[in-house]
Structure 1
Amino acid sequence: MAELVLSALLPVVFEKLTSVLENKIARSKGIHSELKKWERKLRMIQALLEDASEKEVKSKTVKQWLNDLQHLAYDIDDILDALATDAMQREVVNESQPITNTVRKFIPSCCTSFSLSTRLGSKLDDISTRLQELMDEKYKLGLSEKNEGSKDKNRGYQTSLVVGPSIFGREGDKMELVQKLLSDESCNENFGIVPIVGMGGIGKTTLARVLYDDRLVKDHFELKAWVCVSDDFDSFNISKVIYQSVGGKEKDLTDLNLLQLALRERFMGKRFLLVLDDVWSEKWEDWKTLEGPFFAGASGSKIIITTRKKELVRQLLNHVHPYILQKLSPDNALSLFAQNALGVNNFDLHPQLRPHGEGIVRKCDGLPLALEALGRLLRNKPSEEEWKWLLDNEIWKLKDDGGILPALRLSYLDLSACCKQLFAYCCLIPKDCVFEKKDLILWWMAEGFLHNSDTDKTMECLGEEHFQELLSRSFFQHVPDDESLFVMHDLMNDLATSVAG
């Protein structure tokens, strides 16, 4: 929660700092240089917020660091308000009492400002000390300015290898998608795109792996390549991985144009299958920079794209009907959970654990990532008490060994500061509570979340845009059989509660 508050508060503090620094009162009190130091250090700390927001999930010390920074920011805001108020009062006095002002010219400025200087002196020193302490602690905590390529490093290590003997409940999905891959349906280009869309943790990457490794698919395509794109859409690195995967010669290619010319030569007249896993970028220029060599392939080539963003598929790829991956059925979910918890896909040898297992599965609501993570958490723990403990506790309170929060949190971290605040507010929505879009937007408006001086758009318009952004990223879901109503997945609700603090 502290990161959310700071994201909104620090820009206000910077604006006030600029105003006070431009005012003569700051210079006359000899605090101008101190305020400049504050501004410089705060901007350095602001650059660490993204890294701190990721690490606070697992580190109590980072969470405390953010809380201390939040309190410090409020104290700085109070000091700046006091300076601004004093300047305003002096201006009023100067305008209303010209005679008094003439007299004051003969009085040293140190005497006229004695009261405020004395009152703020110790506070200024205290803030400077605390600010320096926070700067010193960042090294101990390992906080650094986040660069685009360092987010969720493990996502970059996803591979095409299928883990485990089989997948549960995806046989129908697999058959339908294999038919799409093998078909020579007409399209404007030599290649067709097969988008797989769904919320984080629903199994898009796992299904893509199974398709990639299918025998019929292997025999159908002459060339195959798998790239985990993640949130850093680097056209050069993506092209390089593809080139190496399709048997390109080991060349020291450092120029994108030369690399893509070589890649086009490899693709020329051959049917290829390419998987772009976990795509986030919605920039048209990113896709246009990458796709050039694909046109050299033979007709019937296919590109599988997995993403959480429906809008990306519709706007960027002009694909009206992406394959929406649904949650697992109750029976398949129970089998998947049992396989991870017990090593077998049923409870025949552990009938006493079945009621607790069924409760946990209902809580996970068909989300494979949650089922696998919680199942592994209980592996080799046949005690009923441990299973009951897990069932009765909120998932977000559990240790993060299973990767539940990191997987869903990636979606959250990619949001704008405003959308983060709006999503965190949704922790107030009870679990399984059905709501209307207009009601939620009105709640946001009532809290003052939709004020934005940088645009002429109405609050209703901003609320609509932010709601659609959250909906397209699976933070909200349509209620089955009623497109006008919405609901939050339980794990999304837990995530909102976690980030709200």
Structure 2
Amino acid sequence: MAEALISVLLEQLASIIQKTKQEVRLVVDVKKEVAKLTSNFKAIQVVLENAEERQMKEVDVRYWLDSLKDVSYEMDDVLDEWSTEILKQHIQKEEAGNASSTSTTKKVCFYILAPWFCFGQVSQVILRRDIAMKIKQLNERLALIASERQNYNFQYMKRGIEEIERQKSSSFVDKTFGRVDEKEILVKKLLSVSGQGGATCLVIPIIGMGGIGKTTLAQLAYKSKSSGRGWPRQKIKIAKAIIDGLKKGNSPASNELQILLQFIHESVKGKKFFLVLDDVWNQDYRKWEQLKLPLQNGAMGSRILVTTRKEEVARMVGASTDMINLKVLREENCWVLFYHIALADREKNESKGLEFIGKEIVKKCKGLSLAAKALGGLMRYKETRKQWEDVLNSKISNVDEIEEQVFQPLLLSYYDLTPTIKRCLLYCVIFPKDYNIVKDELIELWMTQNFLNSIINKEKEAVCEMYFDNLVMRSFFQEFEKDDLGNITGCKMHDVMHDFLQFLTENECFVLEAEGGNNNKTIMEFNGDNKVRHLTLMFAPEGPLIPSSLCNSKITSFGRELISQVKCLRTLNLSRNSLEKVPNEVGELAHLRYFDLSYNVGLMKLPDTVCNLINLQTLRLISCWALERLPEGMGKLINLQHLHVMNCYNLKLPKEIARLTSLRTLEYIRIHGDDDVDNNKEALFELSDLINMDQLRGSFLIEFKKDLKDARQAEKAHLVNKNCLVSLELSFFSDMWQSNPIHEETLNALQPFPNLESLSILRYNSTILQPHWMTSLNKLRSLQLL
């Protein structure tokens, strides 16, 4: 986690220094402090890989990393405060320019409750001095942490994943439980006539998360074969292991890879062999080709079995069609495995009395065979019922044997990720166990956490998609939900993987669950010395959300007291509650990027102070049925990229939305007729206001509440320029007492981009449906006319 944090911070430092050259002059010496800060972070960064590896076994190293993370998080807030100051000055100049172009001259100032947000010169100087002082103080703490690294003799040399210590495996297997279907599939593939594309040797990959049983399945197959065998791991070792398995006399003593490969090439000529490559990580095709070419000299029917956690490896070996994707064990098989280790050797009466507790313990494993083995080995030496109950009532991450035997293999998967992807993965611990993670929501959350600081906005979403796919292919997610086209839309995380991530983010991420009305935990626990950075609150209290006892119900309001405690909040999710009002003080959350108020069906309006959240990137208001209007000043939210208003049936968007030309998500707009506009209120968003919103992507619904009297409004919308839209739905106004003579003209003017994949036209009452652009939709896969 620290490695990922520091990588992002160094990018932020470089970025903000570049901005300040033109935008802000801070107090004297701040540049010197920033230079020191950058130097200290870089000095620490080179030893972090070794430190994060050692934290599993060395408590003092873990404490050192915790101190580093504390400073890093605080520095992240200070840099964000600095960036916000730069952004506000930019908006101030823009607003001042607009004001000076009018006949009335007046001082331009944001309406906000916090006094330092006003852009008078005195306020700016005070704020800049505060930022400079914070940087200096944090730098002093960081310098001390940097010097302390010498005490731990960290290794400076970065090591590859193949060199990290891992549990050794062999070709021997005792008993197996379950995996009958998988074994049958594997045996059929091993006995099949030919390899991929008629190749001499068939390559069969077995993939799955760490500890799921890939090696055990490979051992079963290995045991049943009688040809030349090997159980190697890497490069020269692989070549030598293959030679040893061939039991060929006069084997070369050389360590030259080419000599070894040549010997293999000659030795396997015309012979059938069976080779197992266990726990393969490297996806470099050139290295695979080096090994594969000599083996092609073998006889037809030769087989190579590859176990891996990475789908990229299966693709690299060219065997994706023969891939076996291993799932978790069924609970009954997991129980039999546990019983075999923990209870089989006990007296019948003794084991019977512990079976009920044992089955409850096994549920913690969620089908992960390695966890069942580790817990079985632990319980084998627990004699009393009290000892068994203690393990049952403990978190799995608090059991030492699990930490050592189960988390250690999972660390290998974690270390194989880049720093930024590590941070994205660790963020997933904010979701409760067994939570259905929606892919698009997760990607928006990643983007709002500033994990991709150095990447421009247009590319961030594509990069996050790539990160998500990367985690999928490395078996960090499971139980996928897919759309009609086979694209993953949602997933879950295995409970043991969730426990592992909680272990890595101990004291940083917390899921607080109130069970019933007698829970005495309070939100106040997370202030003071507590270092929680992400808090997921389940079963929140009825009434105001303030530091108070929790009970199993829903919140109806939150106010100044809570907001004063969470000023550095980046994400605030208050969806699916009973909120009727959002307090003005919400505008003080200057760091806020993600605000979710979805499914608060009684919420009627948002305060004007929401427009002060200039860092806000995502605002979710899905199914806020009573919501009627958004604030007039929405145009100030220049960083807003995702505005979710689907199923807000009474919502009238203000015209200011048209200024948000960076919007990428706006799934739904309602177009009101002229007679539906209240002249005493602000102007409403019109169809023509879409003219410059060409970044819109995904699905888009336009609902007409009245007939358009002027089809030129539709022409000005320039839907044909919205080249990122995948799905378009047009819902026309329908009145059984009136004809709709201009529908055809309007429909022609609503020409979408030719790459559209889905089109729905609702309540189109004309007898003719022949828009001139219909034949240009050459990628259309779905067409609905209702």
TM-score, normalization: structure 2?
A: 0.52
Q: Tell me how far 1:267 sits from its aligned partner.
A: 1.3
- Is this contact kept in 1: 2:3–2:45, CA < 8 A? no
Unpaired runs of 5+ in structure 1? 90-114, 230-234
Cα distance in 2 for partners of 1:367, 1:345 equals 24
Match of 1:487 among 471, 487, 492: 492
| Residue 152 of structure 2: aligned partner | 141
Q: Tell me if 1:295 matches 2:296.
A: yes
| Residue 203 of structure 1: aligned partner | 213
Name whichever of 244-253 and 268-277 sits farther off: 244-253
Residue 289 of structure 1 aligns to a residue whose secondary structure is helix
Which AA in structure 1 matches 2:265? R
| Residue 99 of structure 1: aligned partner | none
Residue 44 of structure 1 aligns to a residue whose secondary structure is helix
Q: Tell me if 1:496 matches 2:501.
A: yes
Q: Tell me if 1:169 matches 2:170.
A: no
Q: 1:458 to 1:41 in 2, by over 3 A?
A: closer
| Residue 466 of structure 1: aligned partner | 467
Cα distance in 1 for partners of 2:180, 2:347 equals 19
- Percent identical across equivalent pairs? 32
| Residue 513 of structure 2: aligned partner | none
- Is this contact kept in 1: 2:207–2:214, CA < 8 A? yes
| Residue 355 of structure 2: aligned partner | 354
Q: Tell me how far 1:274 sits from its aligned partner.
A: 0.9
Residue 225 of structure 1 aligns to a residue whose secondary structure is coil
| Residue 108 of structure 1: aligned partner | none
Q: Tell me how far 1:143 sits from its aligned partner.
A: 2.0
Residue 224 of structure 1 aligns to a residue whose secondary structure is coil
Q: Tell me how far 1:349 sits from its aligned partner.
A: 3.7
Q: 1:330 to 1:6 in 2, by over 3 A?
A: same
Name whichever of 189-198 and 179-188 sits farther off: 179-188
Q: Tell me how far 1:303 sits from its aligned partner.
A: 0.2
Cα distance in 2 for partners of 1:406, 1:237 equals 23
Which AA in structure 1 matches 2:230? A
Residue 296 of structure 2 aligns to a residue whose secondary structure is helix
Q: Tell me how far 1:278 sits from its aligned partner.
A: 0.9
Larger Rg: 2
1:184-195 paired onto structure 2 within 5 Å: 184-187=193-196, 188-195=198-205
Cα distance in 2 for partners of 1:498, 1:329 equals 26
Q: 1:13 to 1:74 in 2, by over 3 A?
A: farther
Q: 1:246 to 1:154 in 2, by over 3 A?
A: farther
Q: 1:308 to 1:76 in 2, by over 3 A?
A: closer
- Is this contact kept in 1: 2:12–2:454, CA < 8 A? no
| Residue 269 of structure 2: aligned partner | 268
| Residue 408 of structure 1: aligned partner | 410
Cα distance in 1 for partners of 2:465, 2:277 equals 30
Q: Tell me how far 1:440 sits from its aligned partner.
A: 2.3
Unpaired runs of 5+ in structure 2? 90-125, 507-786
- Is this contact kept in 2: 1:278–1:308, CA < 8 A? yes
- Over residues 296-320 of structure 1, what are the superposed CA-to-partner deviations in whole Å (9 max), with x where a residue is unaligned? 1111110000011224313541422
- Is this contact kept in 2: 1:338–1:344, CA < 8 A? no
| Residue 245 of structure 1: aligned partner | 245
- Is this contact kept in 1: 2:277–2:304, CA < 8 A? yes
Cα RMSD (Å) of the superposition?
4.0
Residue 275 of structure 2 aligns to a residue whose secondary structure is strand
Q: Number of matched residues?
A: 461
1:364-375 paired onto structure 2 within 5 Å: 364-375=365-376
Higher helix content, 1 or 2: 1
Q: 1:272 to 1:134 in 2, by over 3 A?
A: same
Residue 204 of structure 2 aligns to a residue whose secondary structure is strand
| Residue 422 of structure 2: aligned partner | 420
Cα distance in 2 for partners of 1:242, 1:13 equals 50
1:310-459 paired onto structure 2 within 5 Å: 310-314=311-315, 316-344=317-345, 349-399=350-400, 400=402, 402-453=404-455, 456-459=458-461
Q: 1:281 to 1:347 in 2, by over 3 A?
A: farther
Q: Tell me if 1:8 matches 2:8.
A: yes
| Residue 56 of structure 1: aligned partner | 55
Q: 1:442 to 1:125 in 2, by over 3 A?
A: closer
Residue 228 of structure 1 aligns to a residue whose secondary structure is coil
Q: 1:479 to 1:36 in 2, by over 3 A?
A: closer
TM-score, normalization: structure 1?
A: 0.78
Cα distance in 2 for partners of 1:436, 1:451 equals 23
Residue 277 of structure 1 aligns to a residue whose secondary structure is strand
- Over residues 28-87 of structure 1, what are the superposed CA-to-partner deviations in whole Å (9 max), with x where a residue is unaligned? 96996x9767655532320111122222233332122123223455677869999xx99x
- Over residues 260-296 of structure 1, what are the superposed CA-to-partner deviations in whole Å (9 max), with x where a residue is unaligned? 1122111111111111111122222221222121111
Residue 194 of structure 1 aligns to a residue whose secondary structure is strand
